[in-house]
Amino acid sequence: MTRVIHTGDTHIGYQQYHLPERRQDFLDAFQRVADDAVDDGVDAVVHAGDLFHDRRPQLGDLLGTLSVLRTLDDADIPFLAVVGNHETTRDGQWLDLFESMGLATRLDDEPTVVGDTAFYGLDFVPRAKRDDLDYEFASHDAAHAALVSHGLFEPLVPDYGNVEWDAREVLESATVDFDALLLGDEHSSERAEIDGTWATYCGSTERASAGERDDRGYNLVEFADGEARLSRRGIPTRDFVFVSVELGSGEGIERVREQVGQYDLEDAVVVVEIEGDGETVTPARAEEFIDDRGALVGRVTDRREHATETEDVDISFADPDEAVRDRLRGMGLSEAARDIDETVRASKTANANVADTVEDRVRDLVDDPAAFEPAEDDDPDEAVAEISTSEATAEPDGSSGVDDERDDAEPASPDADASTPEAMAEATDGDGDGQPSLGDFS
């Protein structure tokens, strides 16, 4: 029997709402997973991608991650992982650096056997390069086998135009029979049984958007008697308080305060949505009340502003990234254009470095003409109209209310940004042999 924790989408380094406290929350959640692994004595921790939120994590994020990995290493618990889309770099991956230090194993088409189970990996693959995949995996002699991958798979994720893979096709094409498909990228714990094989997402370990309302956690997977058994475990995270206020005729800010005041807001992220026929409510007034009650941060959206413009718009600026993705899906953009858009919006580098990051991504894509072909079955005119509507909902001060993390990013510095795995390895070489030294991180 083999028991493993299946986790992923830890997004270490994400400074949500521009708050260092939220950045620390993402690292703390990963530490809780490792502590659980040690306490439960599992055979391995399997990470399904997006360990980091950005391909250029800051030094503090790297050091924190190394500390968590040492927790597992000290307990002789292997850390097996694949590379996700958020952390992919052009050359060596951060996971390669951790592997060179003996703290991780990057899964691939060769089996990594733990107990009586062989684990294989399939990193995130851009859409334009997936046609070249042959799903050929080396054979194994273990009793069970699992494939770990990162991406959006049918039938687990509804196809809204951004689904990347068909899980059934992968399982049918693979040269190895898998007992489980352990996935990352979708932040909810979706699962489905496909012709006798369990396919499951582990969900994220922290809420990366206001739309992630379910408790955070991970999967516990047990391989025994020729099958995989799945169970779900939660982990404590920072409180998110979600308040929906329906304003009746004549009701306004006082009603909002009354409803929000019923909750314990101390150190919480508070997300308020306002609907109904009542008076107009300025989000800033409600957020000031939330701040006074000790909340870490408050985000208030008067959804009626969007409903008066068009019936089709459903935007919450508490989750700007998802709102933008929804609008982009209908614009007919090529794979290259969507990739570059994601690169710019996900970047946590200083403004001066965003152009360099985009240039790296273009180099990756330029050899594949198919990546620049417009997407089919989309209606760009409709999407442009929807975006124009969202622009009409700007705040009185001229801002849209969207958290643009590039506007106030701190300038990059040698101490704050290691930039690449190769640079990190060079910076941590304490003995002149060109290899990173564990002692340098003590």
423's enclosing H/E stretch is: helix 421-427
- Residues with Cβ within 8 Å of 348's Cβ and at least 6 positions away in sequence, in order, are 13, 14, 15, 53, 54, 56, 58, 405, 409
Is residue 187 annotated as part of the catalytic site, yes or no? no
* Whole-Å CA distances, 75 to 42, 45, 220: 10, 12, 18
Identify whether the C-beta of residue 154 lies closer than 8 Å to the C-beta of residue 167: yes
360's enclosing H/E stretch is: helix 351-365
**83 φ/ψ angles, rounded to the nearest 5 degrees:** -95, 130
CA-to-CA distance for 218 and 45, rounded, in angstroms? 10
Nearest Cα neighbor of 286 from 252, 249, 320, 242 is 252
**In a structure prediction context, what are the per-residue pLDDT tens digits for the chain, which is 442 residues long?**
999 999 999 999 999 999 999 999 999 999 999 999 999 999 999 999 999 999 999 999 999 999 999 999 999 999 999 999 999 887 789 999 999 999 999 999 999 999 999 999 999 988 878 878 889 999 999 999 999 999 999 999 876 666 778 899 999 999 999 999 999 999 999 999 999 999 999 999 999 998 999 999 999 999 999 899 999 999 999 999 999 999 999 999 999 999 999 999 999 999 999 999 999 999 999 999 999 999 999 999 988 875 544 444 444 445 555 566 556 655 666 767 766 776 665 544 434 345 555 665 665 666 566 666 666 544 444 444 443 333 333 333 333 333 333 333 333 343 445 556 766 655 555 444 444 444 443 3
The pLDDT assigned to 366 comes to: 61
Can you say how many angstroms the Cα of residue 177 is from the centroid of all Cα atoms in its chain?
A: 28
Active-site hit among 6, 11, 86, 144: 86
* Whole-Å CA distances, 306 to 270, 275, 315: 21, 10, 7
Nearest Cα neighbor of 418 from 164, 39, 13, 60 is 60
Q: How many CB atoms lie within 10 A of CB 25?
A: 19
Q: Could you give the strand order of the β-sheet that contains 240-247, starting from the edge strand earlier in sequence? A: 240-247, 269-276, 297-302
Of 3.60.21.10, 3.30.70.920, 3.90.230.10, 3.40.718.10, the CATH number of 2-234 is 3.60.21.10
- By CB neighbour count within 10 A (0-12 exposed, 13-18 middle, 19+ buried), where does 156 fall? buried
The pLDDT assigned to 372 comes to: 65
* Whole-Å CA distances, 148 to 121, 291, 355: 5, 42, 32
The pLDDT assigned to 226 comes to: 87
CA-to-CA distance for 310 and 386, rounded, in angstroms? 8
Nearest Cα neighbor of 34 from 81, 68, 2, 83 is 68
The pLDDT assigned to 91 comes to: 78
CA-to-CA distance for 216 and 36, rounded, in angstroms? 14
SS3 of residue 254 by DSSP: helix
Can you say how many angstroms the Cα of residue 205 is from the centroid of all Cα atoms in its chain?
A: 9
Domain locations in the chain as residue ranges = 2-234
SS3 string, 40-59, reads HCCCEEEECCCCECCCCCEH
**195 φ/ψ angles, rounded to the nearest 5 degrees:** 50, 45
The pLDDT assigned to 422 comes to: 61
The pLDDT assigned to 389 comes to: 38
- By CB neighbour count within 10 A (0-12 exposed, 13-18 middle, 19+ buried), where does 157 fall? buried
84's enclosing H/E stretch is: none
pTM beyond 0.75: no
